[in-house]
Amino acid sequence: MKFSLGANRYGKAECRLVRVVRDGGRHEITDLNVSTSLSGDLEETHLTGDNSAVLPTDSQKNTVYAFAREFGVPSIEEFALRLGGHFVSSQEAVHTANVRMEQYGWNRLGDHSFSRAGDEVRTAGVTVTSDSAWVTGGLTGLTVMNTTDSEFHGFPRDAYTTLPETHDRILATAVDAKWRFSTLDVPWNAAYAMIREALISGFVETYSLSLQQTLFAMGSRVLEKVPEVAEVRLALPNKHHFPVDLSPFGMDNPNEIFLAADRPYGLIEGTVVRDDAPEEGLAWSS
Ligand SMILES: O=c1[nH]c(=O)c2[nH]c(=O)[nH]c2[nH]1
């Protein structure tokens, strides 16, 4: 039997890149998912394992981050054209470069705070018995980011600790919150709006030394603003943004170019409870 190689291409899929421009105190962010795919005279690696024409996908990924630092991202179209043009012009064997871009939208919350558009879901749960009922509200998928005012240091260093201490990092999380009402006499929609606002302002306005500290501030803010809430439970994934080391390419990275990692992520969970919170179960008459 004889086989021949049909269409083929290769590249790095889903380079998650966040770029922060810090001209003055008002930051701008660009959040991208970049995939490269090259094709051309690439038979040899498939047929004999000769890699002399195979620009590593790792190099393709590095180019994405390095170009973001060197040339910025005026638009995803321009950035994609520059990347594609580079691969085709610099690699003799590469005749076609496909570059796919996804750009995620963020809404501004403040000078260095943003919330990601879409994905947010309001939730509610009720339990009803013959003589009582109780209500929990919640939200999931509220993704927020502070591009400064976050530090993490002073932690124990054991034999397996490699994490550098940081005094200026990105803090980003997708808020997963549940709260328990201590009464059924609640203007539900207005209360939801206030709770959501309290969670956001707690995140934005807290100068954070840990996501745990931010969690407690967010929960406390809800209890402060909405007296009908007895308890807030928060699950906050720490959506890590690692500064990319561009020194191998002769570039610095003044906290501008980040790899947005999706897994694994820290998961910080906690409950903030009003000291005089009633037990679950509210009499209908109350
Ligand atoms: O805010 C943080 N809390 C942690 O517990 C933790 N652990 C870690 O690696 N980074 C962070 N950041």
Q: What is the pLDDT of residues 108-125, one digit of tens each?
A: 999 999 999 888 999 999
Share of the chain above pLDDT 90, in %: 91
Q: What is the CATH number of the domain that holds 21?
A: 3.30.1130.10
99 and 117 together in one domain: no
Last residue of a domain, one of 104, 123, 149: 104
In a domain, 83, yes or no: yes
Q: Is the pLDDT of residue 129 over 90?
A: no
d(CA 214, ligand 1 centre) in Å: 11
In a domain, 55, yes or no: yes
133 and 74 together in one domain: no
pLDDT, tens digit (0-9, with 9 covering 90-100), for 225-257: 999 999 999 999 999 999 999 999 999 999 999
Angle between helices 57-71 and 76-90 (to 10 degrees): 130
In a domain, 259, yes or no: no
pLDDT of 281: 58
The band of 286, judged by pLDDT with boundaries at 50, 70 and 90, is very low
| SS3 call for 96 | strand
Mean pLDDT over residues 139-161, rounded?
A: 98
Rounded to the nearest 10°, the torsion over CA 260, 30, 80, 37 is: 20
pLDDT, tens digit (0-9, with 9 covering 90-100), for 33-84: 999 999 999 999 999 999 999 999 999 999 999 999 999 999 999 999 999 9
Interface confidence (ipTM) of the complex? 0.98
122 and 94 together in one domain: no
99 and 123 together in one domain: no
158 and 191 together in one domain: yes
pLDDT, tens digit (0-9, with 9 covering 90-100), for 5-36: 999 999 999 999 999 999 889 999 999 999 99
142 and 96 together in one domain: no
pLDDT of 285: 47
In a domain, 256, yes or no: no
Residue range(s) defining the domain that contains residue 148: 111-240+264-283
Is residue 12 part of the annotated active site? The answer reads: yes
Tell me the residue ranges of DSSP E strands in 51-194. 94-103, 106-110, 113-116, 121-128, 132-146, 171-181
In a domain, 272, yes or no: yes
Strand partners for 136: 125, 180
d(CA 128, ligand 1 centre) in Å: 39
The number of folded domains in the chain is 2
Last residue of a domain, one of 83, 104, 125: 104
In the set 12, 27, 112, 241, the catalytic residue is 12
Looking from the CA of residue 150, the nearest atom of ligand 1 is 1
pLDDT of 282: 60
148 and 270 together in one domain: yes
Q: What is the CATH number of the domain that holds 187?
A: 3.10.270.10
